[in-house]
Amino acid sequence: MKNSSKTNRQSTTSFLAVILLLLILAFLAVCFINRNKYRIYGGMTAELKDSDLFEDLSSGRSVCFLGDSITAGNEINGICWYEPLTPYIKGNTSNISRGGWMVENLIEQGKNIPKADIYIIAIGINDIIFRDGVKASATPEDFAQKCSLLAETIKGISPDAKIYFIAPWSFTGQDETINNLGISFRNALQEMCAGSGYQYINPDPIIIPVLNEEGAGKYMYNTFHPNAPQGVGLYSYAVLKAAHEQRAAS
Q: How many CA atoms lie within 13 A of 58 on its CB side?
A: 12
Three-state DSSP state, 2 = helix
Is the model's pLDDT at 157 over the cut of 80? Answer: yes
How much is the pLDDT for 1? 47
Is the model's pLDDT at 23 over the cut of 70? Answer: no
Three-state DSSP state, 163 = strand
pLDDT bin (cut points 50, 70, 90) of residue 12 is low
Is the model's pLDDT at 31 over the cut of 50? Answer: no
Q: Residue 122 and residue 165: Cα distance in Å, rounded?
A: 6
Strand intervals (E) in the chain: 63-67, 93-97, 118-122, 162-166, 199-201
Q: How many CA atoms lie within 13 A of 233 on its CB side?
A: 16
Is the model's pLDDT at 249 over the cut of 50? Answer: yes
Q: Residue 241 and residue 237: Cα distance in Å, rounded?
A: 6
Percent of the chain's residues with pLDDT above 90? 85
Quick: pLDDT tens for 178-202.
999 999 999 999 999 999 999 999 9
Q: Residue 244 and residue 222: Cα distance in Å, rounded?
A: 28
Residue type for position 200: Y
Distances (CA, A) of 235 to 1, 39, 70: 67, 11, 10
Quick: pLDDT tens for 59-77.
999 999 999 999 999 999 9
pLDDT bin (cut points 50, 70, 90) of residue 250 is confident
Average pLDDT over residues 210-222: 98
